Each structure stands twice: as structure tokens, then as C-alpha cells.
Amino acid sequence: MWQDTEGGCLFPVHGTGMASGMLLPVTARLSMQSSAWPERRDRMGFFSKLKEKFSRSEDKDKYLSGLTPSRKTFGDRIRALSNNYHGIDDELLEELMVILLESDVGIHAAQKIVDRFEENASRISDYGSMEEYFIQILREFYDESIVLPLNMEQDVPVVILMVGVNGSGKTTTTAKLVKYYKDQGKKVCVAAADTFRAGAVDQIETWAERLGVECIKGRPNQDPSSVLVDACRRAKETGADMLIADTAGRLQNKQNLMNELTKMHRVCEREIEGAPHETWLVLDATTGQNGILQAHQFTEATNVTGIILTKMDGTAKGGVVMAIRDGLELPVRFLGLGEKPEDLRPFDLDLYLYGITKGLEDDTDRSE
Ligand SMILES: Nc1nc2c(ncn2[C@@H]2O[C@H](COP(=O)(O)OP(=O)(O)OP(=O)(O)O)[C@@H](O)[C@H]2O)c(=O)[nH]1
């Protein structure tokens, strides 16, 4: 765990928060104000390490620009709260709760995070500021227990099924993934199996041409599973490393969805050992909690192995990452941070936390 043990001389007040429903007596509040956060002299604490990692990352600019809307509703407000920090009291906990909810963390996850923040308050002096401590709490909350390694090292073509409702960004994300893996030197082919929306097939085909990869496409209303069979065979024949399949995005009743997804899995498995190796659910981050509800339908219908959150650049609801961790227990694999093919980045918790807070720097004493 990253901690900085310098400079902490704060005595947090325990057990006074929302859980107890009690407001602190005025005298206690006043005494806390006098023990406000010690001078922010340490620069090598939690945020410094986060910043160091961030500045070394090739993805930093994309994370920073793509997460701007979330940073404004989340990071800037946490910073303001931290700058005025005078101890843990109900007011602070309530404000944290509001910020989390407005970032679409969801009530359940938000409550857990705030409780954890309060319960672990004895650690607060290990950090350079309240904001650092809070971000570390978020980090631990997300990091716990999601251990689902990628199933990508195979002797056969790796098959990735893309699922999600229409409009979530599934087709665009499929094209972005093709580019991402091709840029890594993989031989990729793509299946345009979203035969429900004719435009989706054209869209993938155009991208495939542009990116110079083979596209196995379906006819309008052809059974997506039969397109997948052709695509799996073609991937084997051509010695492809990967097949990325854009599948139909109908959110019908659960039974139909389940039948369709089960069939797609079955045919892939029959054609290529262990396939599909990954099934990624594409979620539109702008839909926030509704997206989570949708996601439940998919996870109940099939073995989803990861989430791709799209349109993060167009929403202040960046906290939905925490809601996914809490409600779906699935790892976020990639973030969609814009419309262009290069606007997709593997999800990295530290870069995300830095991106939504920018190390909570202000323009004066803590900027570079
Ligand atoms: N700003 C932004 N726009 C995105 C992102 N991903 C997708 N989009 C846009 O979202 C819209 C819908 O994307 P599609 O890829 O067509 O969505 P889809 O889920 O495949 O929809 P269907 O083909 O109808 O199933 C398009 O205008 C995309 O350019 C993203 O990360 N950021």
C-alpha cells in the first residue's frame, strides 16, 4: 500500500458520522478546526507516486482529456472539500456521499465507501491530505477481490465476443479493439455479426478496410451464430491470432437474449477450443445506473468476463466504475475516451484515479 507517514498530526474524531446520525457538538467542531490539516509539505506521498506513474504512462494525455467532465464534478469538488477540511463530521460525510452519488457511484457503493472512509479514519494522518486518503479508500474499494485474469494466451485464435445493447458503442469499440491489437502486432480478423442493424455491418466493414484486416460479415438478419461459425473457420484457416466479433445487440426478453448468447457461445466452442475466450460487455457510461441494470441482464444471460465503458469523455458520471465493481463484480477492461479509433485505453485503476482527480492539484502550489 502507498502511504506517507510524514507530517500527520491530526486526531480524527471517530464514530460521529452518518451511521450514528449524530451531529457533533459545536465545541468539538471548533476544536477540530484548530487541528486542521498539517502543512502540505510532503510531496512524495500517495499522490506523488500516482503522479509519477501517470507521467510515465503513454496513456496520460488520453486519460486526462477523456476524463475531464468527471474531474469537474468529482475531483474538483473533493479538492474543495479537502482544502476546507477540519475533521470528520456528519457534514463532511454527507458532502462526500453527495459527490459520490452525483458521479454515479450508486447508493450502495457510495455508502460502503463513506463507511470505509469513516471506519478507517485512524489511518488518515498517514496521508498528506484528506483527498489523498479518500482516493486511497476508493483504490482499495475497487481493487479488492476482482481477480479475473485475461484468457488471451492461446495456441488457437483468441475469440472475443462483444455484447451490449444497441447504441452502447459496441461497433465502434470493436473497431477500436481491432486497431489496438493490430498495433500490438497481432493478426486480427473481425466478424460483423450484428446482423440486426444493417448499418453495423457496413460500419465494421469500412473500419476493417481502413485498418487492413479481414472482415467476415453477415447478411441482414442472418443468424449471428452462423456468421460466427464462418468467422471462426476463417480465423483458423488464415492463422489469425484473434477474432473480434461484433454481435447482435438486441435487448429482448431475458430468455431470448440468453438463448441467443448461449448459441453463440456453443458454436464458437465447437469451432475453436475454449472459445469464446473473452466476452466483453460494452456499457455506455453516460447511462450511469441504467447501464448497470442493463448489465445485470447480460451477466445473468451469459458468462461476461469484462466490461468496456464507452463515452467516458462525454459524461460526468465517471464514478460508474465503482458501481460496476460493486454491483457486477466484473473488471473494467477498457475505457472509451472519444470517438476516434485511437480513443480506447486499457483500464488502469491508478491512471483512472489520477485522471478524475489530477492528483487534485490546484493551479498554484501543487501544479507542476
Ligand atoms: N464520445 C464518444 N462517443 C463514442 C464512444 N464510443 C462510441 N461512441 C459513439 O456512440 C455512437 C454509437 O456507437 P456505435 O458503435 O454505433 O454503437 P453500437 O452499440 O454498435 O450500436 P448499434 O450498432 O446500433 O448496435 C456513435 O456515434 C459512436 O461514435 C466514446 O468512447 N466516446
Please report the DSSP string for 269-338 in residue order. HHHSTT--SEEEEEEEGGGHHHHHHHHHHHHHHS---EEEEE-GGG-S-TTHHHHHHHHT---EEEEE-S
Q: What is the CATH number of domain 26-33+44-146?
A: 1.20.120.140
Between residues 293 and 148, the one the model is more confident about: 293
Q: Where are the domains of the chain?
A: 26-33+44-146, 158-304
Could you tell me the distance, in angstroms and rounded to a whole number, from the CA of residue 130 to the centre of ligand 1?
37
Q: 39 CA to middle of ligand 1, Å?
A: 46
**Fold identical between 26-33+44-146 and 158-304?**
no
- pLDDT, mean of residues 105-116: 95
Read off the pLDDT of residues 270-289 as tens digits, 9 standing for 90 and up.
999 999 999 999 999 999 88
* pLDDT category of residue 25 using cuts at 50, 70 and 90: very low
Reported pTM: 0.83
Is pLDDT at 26 greater than 70 in this prediction?
no
**Does residue 269 carry a pLDDT above 90?**
yes
- Tell me which of 155-159, 229-233, 256-260, 297-301 is least confident: 256-260
Nearest alpha-carbon partner for 231 in 286, 306, 161: 161
How many CB atoms are closer than 10 A to CB 329?
11
Residue 147 pLDDT grade (very low, low, confident, very high; cuts 50, 70, 90): low
**Is residue 9 over pLDDT 50?**
no
**Which of residues 37 and 89 earns the better pLDDT score?**
89
pLDDT on residue 364: 38
- In this predicted model, what pLDDT tens digit does every residue of 170-216 receive, in sequence order? 999 999 999 999 999 999 999 999 887 778 888 899 999 999 999 99
Ligand 1 pocket residues where CB is under 6 Å: 164, 166-172, 194, 197, 200, 249, 310-311, 313-314, 336-339, 343
**Which among 70, 339, 345 is the best mutation to test ligand 1's pocket, defined by most ligand atoms within 8 Å of the CB?**
339
pLDDT of residue 11: 26
* pLDDT tens-digit series, residues 113-126: 999 999 998 888 88
Q: For Cα atoms 347, 317, 292, give the angle at the middle one, nearest 5 degrees.
A: 75
Residue 274 assigned to a binding site? no
- The reply to whether 34 sits in an annotated binding site is no
The pLDDT-based confidence of 1 (bands split at 50, 70, 90) is very low
> How many C-beta neighbours within 10 Å does residue 87 have?
24
Classify domain 158-304 by CATH number. 3.40.50.300
Query: What is the C-alpha separation between 231 and 161, in angstroms, rounded?
Result: 12
